[in-house]
Structure 1
Amino acid sequence: MEDDMPSVPARHRRPLESPWSAARTRMVLLAVIVGVIVAGVWVMLGRRDV
């Protein structure tokens, strides 16, 4: 597989295996989870007020 893209470094070939990309994925997942929780609480508070 190294002969397919000889001009591209290995770290650019597989970004999913790099620590920076892994940390970025974790941040995105945390942001999504927090967003869902906040949205759920917001809806619950809205229903309570109504």
Structure 2
Amino acid sequence: MIHLTLIIVDFLTGLLAAGAWALASAGGAIAAVVGSGILGVSLFRRWRRRD
């Protein structure tokens, strides 16, 4: 019975770690998209101001 409990706890810990990793990856991707969008707008404004 103890072995089954350890297996369940290990499984849940693995799920938690995988979920945290997926959340961090998605957060990094979202931050990259937002950052590139802000950079693009900044460059576009600078280009429009030049004319």
TM-score range, shorter chain: 0.5 to 0.7
Q: Give every structure 1 segment of 4 or more consecutive aligned residues whose post-TM-superposition deviation is greater than 3 Å.
A: none
Q: Larger RCO: Structure 1 or Structure 2 (Cα < 8 Å, ≥ 6 residues apart)?
A: 1
TM-score of the superposed pair, with normalisation by structure 1? 0.65
From the two aligned structures, give the one with the greater helix fraction: 2
Unmatched 5+ stretches in structure 1:
1-8, 12-16
Aligned-residue Cα RMSD (Å) equals 1.9
Structure whose CA Rg is larger: 2
TM-score of the superposed pair, with normalisation by structure 2? 0.64
Unmatched 5+ stretches in structure 2:
1-6
Percent sequence identity over matched residues?
Answer: 14
